[in-house]
Homo-oligomer: A and B are copies of this chain.
Amino acid sequence: MDYFNAPGRNHLFVPGPVNIPDQIIRAMNRNNEDYRSPAIPAMTKTLLEDVKKIFKTITGIPFLIPTTGTGAWESALTNTLSPGDRIVSFLIGQFSLLWIDQQQRLKFNVDVVESEWGQGAKLDVLESKIASDTSHTIKAICIVHNETATGVTNDLAKVRQILDSYRHPALLIVDGVSSICALDFRMDEWGVDVAITGSQKALSLPTGIGIVVAGPRAIEASKHAKSLRVFFDWKDYLKFYQLGTYWPYTPSIHLLYGLRAALDLIFEEGLENVIARHSRLGKATRLAVEAWGLKNCTQKEEWYSDTVTAVLVPAYIDSTEIVRRAWKRYNLSLGLGLNKVAGKVFRIGHLGNLNELQLLGCLTGVEMILKDVGYPVKLGSGVAAASAYLQDTIPMIPSRI
C-alpha cells in the first residue's frame, strides 16, 4: 500500500496538502457514524462557531462544504453573482489564473487585471476602475490573498480602503486558501464579503472541506444571484442550520472530527502565535534564499509571503530537476514551478503545523540539491542565515516553560 517507499519520514514542503499533526490523524482514526444522531449536530455547532474565529469574523456564516478549494471558489461565485455580472479579477499567478478561468466558464464578465508573475495585484488599476465605475457595474472584486504559485501576498486592507473611499458596493471575494490561519486575515475589519479556504492548507487536515464564510452582504446577494447551483447552494445549508440538523447532505464525519482537533490545536497555541510562527518560518526561508545568492520570485518585500516561497533558479538550471531530485534522493517534497514559471522556480511551502527544525531540515536538503544540480552553493550558508535569525526569535514553548 505504499508507492515508491523510502527510509525515514517524508519531508513535506509543498504549499499544500501539508503535514497533518498526530492529534488530527488520531481524531480521524475512527469508524463512520450516523450523521443524523445528535452527536454530529452538537459537534458541528462548535465547529461553525470556532471557524468564525480563525476568519476573524463575527457576522460571517461559515459553510463547511465537502469539496476542495476549487469547489469553494465556485460556491463563493455562484451564490453571489449572476451570469453576465461584471467582476474585476486579478491574474498574478497560476491559482488566480485558474480562478479566472472558472469565472469565465461560469459566464461572468471578467475584467482581468494582469500582473507580471511575481508581482502583487495592481491596486492602482483597481482604484481607477472603481473611480470610474460610478454606475456600479462592477459587482465583485475577486482577489487571492496569497498567490500560492508565486508566493505573493496582496494587501487586502488596501483593497477595502479603495472600495470604501469611492463608496463602491462591489462585493469583495477573497481566496484565502494559502493564507487563512497562517497569515493575518481579518474578515470583518477588511470588509471581506466572502472568504474561502481549504482543509488541507494551514488547517493541516486532509483535502475534503472547502470552507466558505459569507458576510451579511453576501448572504443578501445569494437571495438574488441567478447562477444555477444546488450542491454548492448556501440556501440548503441555511435551511438545515435553522432546523439544527446542519447538513443538507452527508458530511465527511472524519473531517469534522479532524477539524475539531485542528481548531483545538490552533486555539491551544493561540491564533496570533500561529501567525507569528508562520512569520518566522517565512522570514527564515527568505534569509536562506538570499544567503544562497538566489532570487525570490516575489519581486518586492511588500508582497513577501509567509506561507510559501517561490525561488528563482538561474537560467542554466531546470527547477523541475530540483524538485525531482528532492524526491528521488532526499525524500523531500518541494513545489514545482507552474505554467509561466515552470522550470524557473521551485517552491518551499512553509505553512501548517510545522516547526523551525522541520524547516531547517528542509533547507539543508535544498542546499545539497542545489549543489547536486550544479549551482555553486556553499553548504550550510542558507541554514546559517536562517538559524541565526531563528535563534534570536524562537520563543520557548509555552506549555514547557
Asked if A257 is at the interface of the complex by the 8 Å CB criterion, the answer is yes
A–B Cβ pairs within 8 angstroms, 19 of them: A1-B27, A4-B42, A4-B397, A4-B399, A6-B397, A10-B31, A12-B32, A28-B254, A37-B333, A67-B231, A70-B231, A106-B228, A206-B253, A330-B355, A361-B364, A364-B383, A371-B391, A380-B385, A383-B383
Contact with B along A353-368 (1 / 0, CB 8 A): 1111110111011011
Asked if A269 is at the interface of the complex by the 8 Å CB criterion, the answer is yes
Q: How far is the CA of A362 from the CA of B355 in the complex (A)?
A: 12
Asked if A109 is at the interface of the complex by the 8 Å CB criterion, the answer is no
As for how many copies of this chain the complex holds, the number is 4
Q: How far is the CA of A357 from the CA of B10 in the complex (A)?
A: 9
Q: Using Cβ atoms and an 8 Å threshold, which residues of chain B touch A357?
A: 8, 11, 330-332, 361-362, 364-365
Q: Using Cβ atoms and an 8 Å threshold, which residues of chain B touch A384?
A: 378-381, 383-384
Known: A12-B32, A208-B208, A380-B387. A7 touches B269 (CB 8 A): yes
Known: A30-B22, A228-B228, A380-B383. A397 touches B329 (CB 8 A): yes
Contact A400 B328 (CB under 8 A): yes
Contact with B along A200-212 (1 / 0, CB 8 A): 1000001110000
Contact A391 B362 (CB under 8 A): no
Give the residues from 338 to 378 in chain A that come closer than 8 angstroms, CB to CB, to chain B.
353-358, 360-362, 364-365, 367-368, 371-372, 378
Question: Which of A13-21, A162-170, A301-309 is the contact stretch?
Answer: A13-21
Contact A14 B36 (CB under 8 A): yes
Asked if A5 is at the interface of the complex by the 8 Å CB criterion, the answer is yes
Question: Which of A51-59, A152-160, A244-252 is the contact stretch?
Answer: A244-252
| Residue from B34, B83, B230, B380 within 8 A of A70 (CB atoms) | B230
Asked if A215 is at the interface of the complex by the 8 Å CB criterion, the answer is no
Asked if A315 is at the interface of the complex by the 8 Å CB criterion, the answer is no
Q: Using Cβ atoms and an 8 Å threshold, which residues of chain B touch A390?
A: 368
Q: Using Cβ atoms and an 8 Å threshold, which residues of chain B touch A336?
A: 36
